[in-house]
């Protein structure tokens, strides 16, 4: 259940950041838009790396408990 909350929080953050980036581009603030874009990319990268290590940890635990 907590995983679902994390997915919802990250998803809504990405949606808000994308909308903010588009509005900044429409206004003509390209530097601020790039900063928001970089922040969005950083969040997505951290989520991807965290998910990879979580899956890796789950596999290690499964095999360790399976061997005992």
pTM of the model: 0.69
Q: Per the structure block, which two tokens stand in for 2?
A: 């907590």
Domain range enclosing 49? 2-67
Say how many residues make up the chain.
68
Report how far residue 1's alpha carbon sits from residue 27's, in angstroms, rounded to the nearest whole number.
Answer: 39
Q: How many CB atoms lie within 10 A of CB 59?
A: 10
Q: Which residues contact 18 (CB under 8 A, 6 or more apart)?
A: 40
In this predicted structure, what is the pLDDT of residue 53? 92
pLDDT value of position 1: 60
* 39 token code pair: 């922040």
pLDDT digits (tens, 9 = 90+) for 10-42: 888 888 888 998 888 888 888 888 898 998 899
CB atoms within 10 A of CB 20: 16
Number of domains in the chain: 1
């Amino acid at each position: 259940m907590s995983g679902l909350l994390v997915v919802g929080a990250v998803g809504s953050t990405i949606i808000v950041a994308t909308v903010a980036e588009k509005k900044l581009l429409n206004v003509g603030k390209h530097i601020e838009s790039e900063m928001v874009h970089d922040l969005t990319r950083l969040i997505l990268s951290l989520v991807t790396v965290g998910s990879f290590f979580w899956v890796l940890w789950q596999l290690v635990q499964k095999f360790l408990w399976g061997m005992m």
